[in-house]
Structure 1
Amino acid sequence: MTDQSADRITTREAAARLGVKPETLYAYVSRGLLTSRRAEGGRGSTFDPAEVAALAARARPAAAGQDAAPDGGGGWGRIRTGITLIEGDALWFRGVEATGLASAYGFEEVAEWLWTGELRRGIRFTAPEPLLAAARSAGDALPAGCGPMDRLRVAVLAAATADPLRFDLSQDAVLGSARGLIPTLVGALPEAGRAHRGEGRLAWRLWSRLTALPADEASLRVLDAALALLVDHDLAASTLAARVAASARAHPYAVVSAGLGALDGPLHGQASAMAHRMLAEVLERGSAGPVVAERLRAGQRVPGLGHRLYRGEDPRARLLFHLLGRVPAAADALAAARDIGTTAARHTPLFPNVDLALAVLSVSAAMPPEAGETVFSVARTAGWIAHALEEYQERPLRMRLSGTYQGPPPPRPLP
Structure 2
Amino acid sequence: MSGEYVPGLEGVPATRSNISFVDGKNGILEYRGIPIEQLAESSTFLETAFLLIFAHLPIKDELLAFEAEILSHRRVKYRIRDMIKSFPEGGRPMVALQACIAALGLFYPISRDMSKEEYAYNSTIRLLSKVPTMVATFHQMRLGNDPIPPRDDLGHAGNFLYMLTGREPDPRAARIFDVCLMLHAEHTVNASTFSALVTASTLADPYTVITSAAGTLSGPLHGGANEEVIRMLKDIGTIERVRPYIEERLARKERIMGVGHRVYKVKDPRAKILQNLAQELFDRFGHSRLYDIALEVERVCDELLGHRGIYPNVDFYSGLVYEKLGIPSDLFTPVFAISRVAGWLAHWHEQLTDNRIFRPSQVYTGTRQVEYTPLSLRSYA
Q: Is the TM value for this pair above 0.5?
A: yes
1:179 aligns with 2:139: no
Which string of whole-angstrom CA distances, capped at 9 and with x for unpartnered residues, describes residues 237-258 of structure 1?
Answer: 1100100001000110000011
Provide the TM-score with structure 2 as the length reference: 0.81
Aligned to 1:234: 188
2:183, 2:270 within 8 Å by CA — same for their partners in 1?
A: yes
| Residue 183 (structure 1) shift | 2.1
Aligned to 1:103: 41
Matched letter for residue 360 of structure 2: L
Matched letter for residue 185 of structure 1: V
Provide the aligned length of Structure 1 versus Structure 2: 347
| Residue 320 (structure 1) shift | 1.7
Aligned to 2:254: 300
2:271, 2:312 within 8 Å by CA — same for their partners in 1?
A: yes
| Residue 214 (structure 1) shift | 5.8
Q: Secondary structure at the match of 1:326?
A: helix
- The CA distance in 2 between the partners of 1:60 and 1:160, in whole Å, is 33
Choose the corresponding residue for 2:335, options 362, 372, 375: 375
Matched letter for residue 375 of structure 1: V
Alignment identity in percent? Answer: 26
Q: 1:58 to 1:313 in 2, by over 3 A?
A: closer
1:394 aligns with 2:330: no
Aligned to 1:334: 291
1:127, 1:180 within 8 Å by CA — same for their partners in 2?
A: no
Q: 1:56 to 1:247 in 2, by over 3 A?
A: closer
Choose the corresponding residue for 2:302, options 320, 323, 345: 345
RMSD between superposed Cα atoms in Å: 2.9
Aligned to 2:109: 164
Q: 1:57 to 1:263 in 2, by over 3 A?
A: closer
- The CA distance in 1 between the partners of 2:57 and 2:229, in whole Å, is 34
1:280 aligns with 2:218: no
1:207, 1:215 within 8 Å by CA — same for their partners in 2?
A: yes
Q: Secondary structure at the match of 2:39?
A: helix
Aligned to 1:360: 320
Q: 1:278 to 1:195 in 2, by over 3 A?
A: farther
1:196, 1:204 within 8 Å by CA — same for their partners in 2?
A: no
Q: 1:133 to 1:181 in 2, by over 3 A?
A: farther
| Residue 80 (structure 1) shift | 0.5
1:89, 1:311 within 8 Å by CA — same for their partners in 2?
A: yes
Choose the corresponding residue for 1:325, options 267, 279, 295: 279
Q: 1:197 to 1:286 in 2, by over 3 A?
A: farther
Note the 1:65-76 alignment, pairs <5 A: 76=12
Question: Whose helix fraction is larger, Structure 1's or Structure 2's?
Answer: 2
- The CA distance in 2 between the partners of 1:90 and 1:341, in whole Å, is 20
Matched letter for residue 78 of structure 1: A
Aligned to 1:78: 14
Aligned to 2:207: 253
Segments of structure 2 that go 5 or more residues without pairing to the other structure are: 141-146, 375-381
Provide the TM-score with structure 1 as the length reference: 0.75
1:153, 1:257 within 8 Å by CA — same for their partners in 2?
A: yes
- The CA distance in 2 between the partners of 1:196 and 1:358, in whole Å, is 24
Matched letter for residue 412 of structure 1: E
1:412 aligns with 2:371: yes
- The CA distance in 2 between the partners of 1:393 and 1:282, in whole Å, is 49
Aligned to 2:143: none
- The CA distance in 2 between the partners of 1:266 and 1:166, in whole Å, is 37
- The CA distance in 1 between the partners of 2:232 and 2:45, in whole Å, is 28
Q: Secondary structure at the match of 1:395?
A: coil
Aligned to 1:28: none
- The CA distance in 1 between the partners of 2:240 and 2:150, in whole Å, is 33
Q: 1:96 to 1:132 in 2, by over 3 A?
A: farther
2:185, 2:339 within 8 Å by CA — same for their partners in 1?
A: yes
Choose the corresponding residue for 1:89, options 7, 27, 34: 27
Segments of structure 1 that go 5 or more residues without pairing to the other structure are: 1-53, 62-75
Q: Secondary structure at the match of 1:235?
A: coil
Q: 1:130 to 1:354 in 2, by over 3 A?
A: closer
Aligned to 1:71: none
Q: 1:89 to 1:166 in 2, by over 3 A?
A: farther
Aligned to 1:43: none
